[in-house]
Amino acid sequence: MIFKSKKKKIEEAKKMAEKVEREQIKKALKVSQIQMPKKERFIPYTKEYRTLLEELKQEPKTLYEKACMVAEKIFPIHPDRNTAIKIEDSLKAGYINATPKGAFSLAFITTLITLVGAIIFIVLGGGLVFGIFGLTMVFVLFWYLYNYPHTKAKSVGIQMSGDSVLAILYMVIYMRQSPNLEGAIKFASQNLEGPLSWDLKKLLWDIETGKYSSADHALTDYVFKWKEKNKEFAEALNLLRGSAVEPSRRIALYEETIEVILNGTRERARHYAAGLRMPMTLIYALGILLPVMGLVLFPIILIFIADVVKPSFVFFGYDILLPITIFFIVSHILSSKPPTFSPPDISRAKGVPPMGKFRIGNKSIPVLPISFIVALPFIFLGILGLTNPNVYFSVNFSILIIIGIAFSVAAYAFLDSYQKMRVRNDIEKIEDEFSVALFQLGNVISGGSPIEVAIDKTRENLKETKIAEMFEIISLNMKKFGCTFEQALFDKKIGAIWYFPSKLIYSIMQTIIQSARKSVKTAAGSMVVISRYLKGVHDVKEEIDELLGETTASMRFLAMILAPLISGITLTLAVVILQILTRLGAAMETITQASSASAAQTLFLIPWAMGGTLPITPPLFQIIVGIYMVETGVLLSIFLNGVKYGEDPVGVRYNIWTILLFGVVIYIISWVVTYTMFGGAIQSLLEPVGL
C-alpha cells in the first residue's frame, strides 16, 4: 500500500528517528578525524537553470519528436519563412523538441505515402467508397500533422493556465514574508510542476543572463504574453508588480490579487458550463441517437441493396469513421476549456509506479501484457461459438468477444490508474483538511501556547482526519527525539512531511518555517492568513465542481447507462429483423421456384430473396454494435474527465474502467431482457405461417 495506516506510520517514524539518533552518535565519535575538502567541478550554470535543463527534454522522446527527426534526415523540406516562424513559435510554446523543417517534412512525407497507398488501393480494386475515404483521410492527416504543434501548444497553454491559481497563491504567500518579486517567481517555479514551472524558470534565467534588467521588467513582458490567453492571471501579476512599489497598500493588493485570480477563474468556468449544452446535444445526437437510428434501419435497407452492402462497410462506418469524427469533436470542445484547477501532483509520493505499470511489492509490472491475457479466453470462446446454428446462442458467444475487448481495455485502465488514483484522492483529502488545520494551529499559537502544546491541541481537535496524523508525527519527533519544529517537519529521514506527499503542504510549511525564524507570533499570523487564502481557493474549486457537476453527471449517465442500454435494445431489434428477413427470404425463394415466376416478377426479389441469405449475420452485427459501444464509452470518458481537469491521463483511465465495466453489464442485461421479452414472441408468430 502506498499510503500506510496511521499505526504503521507512527512505528516507522519511531524506528527511523532512533536510527538517525544512533547515526548522530557515531558521527560525534568521529568528530576528531580531519578530512581534506574534496575538489568540486566548476559548473558554469546556476542551479535553477541546470534544473530547468534536466526537466526539459534534451533529446527526442515522444513518437512525434522521433518521427520529425527521422523525416528531417530522410527527406528534408524547408518551409517558407513565415510558415517556419509560425511552426517554431508553436514548437517552443508546446515544448516540442523538433525543428520547423522536421515538423513540415513529417507532414509532407506522411501525406505523400498515404496518398500513394490510397491510389494503389483504388487501382487494385479496393472499392470506390474506401478509395474516396482514403483520399479524404490523406488531407485530414496532412491537416492534423501540420497543425499538431499548434494544437500541442494550445494544450500546454491550457495546462499552464490550470496552474495559474497555484502560481499566484505561492507568489502572494512568499511576498507576504519577503516582498521580493524575483524571490516570489523562484518560489513559485520551485513548487509547481510542468510547463508553467519551466516557463517561470526560463524567466528567472533571462533575468540572470541580463535579458531583463529586473524582475519587474521581466514580468512586464510576461504579462503581455498572458494578456490574451488568461487576462486574470495577467492582471494578478500586474497587481503583484504594483505591491512591490507601493508598500503602503501592499497587504490590500495581496488580498486583491487573490480575489482577481479566483473571481476570474470562477467566471470563466461559469460561462464554459453554460456553453456546454450545445456540444453535449451534438455528441448525444451524433454519437448515440443518429447511429442507433441507422442501425435499426440497416436490416430494412438490406432488402433493397443486399448485393451492395458488405459487413466491412458497416464496420468501417460505425467502428472507424464515426468514432474518429466524435474524437475530433470532443477534442475541439476540450480545446476551448478555460483554466480551472489541475489535478494534484503525485510525483512526491513514494512507491507510485510510472504510467503503463502497476506495483506489486517493490516491483513495477507492465500493464499491457496482462490486459492482452485477460482478453484471450473470452475472445477464443466467442470465436468457437460463432457458428452455432441457434441465433440466440451464436449472438451470446459473439458477446463474449466484446466482453474480452472491454475487459482488456478496462484491465489496462484499472491497473494503470487505481494505485495512482488512491494516492491522488488521499492528497486531495489532506489538502482540503490542511486549511482548517493551519487556521487552528495559528489561533492556538496566537493565544500564547508553545509550539509543542499547540500541535498537540490541534491534533486533538482534528481527530479522525488524515491531516491529524501529520501533527502526531511532528509531536513525536519534537518530544521524544528533541527535534526542532523545522527538523520534525523536513528532516530527510524522519520529517513528517515525507509521509504526506503534497507539494502544496510542503511549500506552505516551508513558508511557515521562514516566518517562525522571525518570531513565533509572525508564524502564527502567517498560518491564519494562508489558511484564509487556501479556504478561498477551496471554495472556488467546489463552486466550479458544482457548476460542471450537471454536465459531468449527464455525461456519466449517458456513458454508463443510456448508451449501452440503447445499444442492447438496438441489437435485439436488429437481430429480430434479420431473423425475419432470413426466413422470409428462404420462403420467398421456395415460392418463386414452385410457381415458376417470370423474370419481371422476381426482379424485385433479386438478390436477397433468391438466395435466402443476407450479407451480414446477427453475431457479426452484434460485434459491430459492441465495438462501437466500447469506443463510445472510451470517448465519453475522455470528454468527461477533460471537462473537469483537462489533460489528465490518470483520471481518463480511471473513468474508462469504471464506465466500461458498468456499461458492458448494462449492455448484456439490455440484450438478454429485451430478446427474452420479444424474441420468443416473434418466433412463435412466425412458426404458424411456416417461417
The verdict on residue 556 lying in a domain is yes
The verdict on residue 439 lying in a domain is yes
| 684 and 623 belong to one structural domain | yes
Long-range contact set of residues 138-143: C-beta below 8 Å, sequence gap at least 24: 138/111, 138/114, 139/111, 141/110, 141/111, 141/114, 142/107, 142/108, 142/110, 142/111
Total count of domains within the chain: 4
| 211 and 322 belong to one structural domain | no
pLDDT, tens digit, for every residue of 357-376? 888 877 888 888 999 999 99
Residue that terminates a domain, selected from 111, 132, 161: 161
- Residue 49 pLDDT > 60: no
Residues 7-27, mean pLDDT to the nearest whole number:
63
Residues 555-566, mean pLDDT to the nearest whole number:
85
pLDDT value for 19: 67
| 621 and 503 belong to one structural domain | no
The residue with greater pLDDT, 35 or 526, is 526
pLDDT value for 407: 93
Residue that terminates a domain, selected from 507, 536, 565: 536
- In sequence order, the β-bridge partners of residue 365 are 358
| 289 and 402 belong to one structural domain | yes
Indicate the Cα dihedral angle 96, 102, 108, 110, nearest 10°: -70
pLDDT value for 43: 38
Query: 635 lies in which domain range?
Result: 276-424+548-689
- Residue 45 pLDDT > 60: no
pLDDT, tens digit, for every residue of 489-526? 888 777 887 777 777 788 888 878 877 777 777 778 87
The verdict on residue 606 lying in a domain is yes
The verdict on residue 35 lying in a domain is no
- Residue 391 pLDDT > 70: yes
| 379 and 446 belong to one structural domain | no
- Residue 136 pLDDT > 80: no
Q: Kindly tell me the sign of the dihedral angle through the C-alpha atoms of 464, 469, 470, 475.
A: positive
| 406 and 432 belong to one structural domain | no
Furthest CA-CA distance within the chain: 117
| 307 and 394 belong to one structural domain | yes
The verdict on residue 31 lying in a domain is no
- Residue 684 pLDDT > 70: no
| 563 and 459 belong to one structural domain | no
- Residue 404 pLDDT > 90: yes
In which band, very low, low, confident or very high, does the pLDDT at 573 lie, cut at 50, 70 and 90? Answer: confident
pLDDT, tens digit, for every residue of 612-636? 566 778 888 889 889 988 998 898 8
> Residue 185's closest CA among 199, 470, 505?
199
| 303 and 399 belong to one structural domain | yes
Residue that terminates a domain, selected from 487, 512, 536: 536
CA distance 221 to 224: 5
**Are residues 101 and 76 in contact, defined by beta-carbon separation less than 8 angstroms?**
yes
| 102 and 237 belong to one structural domain | no
Residues 85-93, mean pLDDT to the nearest whole number:
84
pTM assigned to the model: 0.75
Mean pLDDT, the chain, whole residue set? 78
pLDDT value for 412: 92
**Are residues 86 and 51 in contact, defined by beta-carbon separation less than 8 angstroms?**
no
In which band, very low, low, confident or very high, does the pLDDT at 386 lie, cut at 50, 70 and 90? Answer: confident
The verdict on residue 34 lying in a domain is no
The verdict on residue 147 lying in a domain is yes
| 280 and 269 belong to one structural domain | no
**Are residues 438 and 431 in contact, defined by beta-carbon separation less than 8 angstroms?**
no
DSSP per residue, 546-574: HHHHHHHHHHHHIIIIIHHHHHHHHHHHH
- Provide the percentage of residues in the chain whose pLDDT is more than 90: 6
The verdict on residue 38 lying in a domain is no
Question: Inter-axis angle of helices 563-595 and 391-446, to 10 degrees?
Answer: 170
> Residue 261's closest CA among 243, 237, 283, 281?
237
Listed ranges 83-92, 309-318, 581-590; the one with the highest mean pLDDT: 83-92
| 340 and 312 belong to one structural domain | yes
Q: Cα-flanking dihedrals φ and ψ of residue 464, to 5°?
A: 70, 15
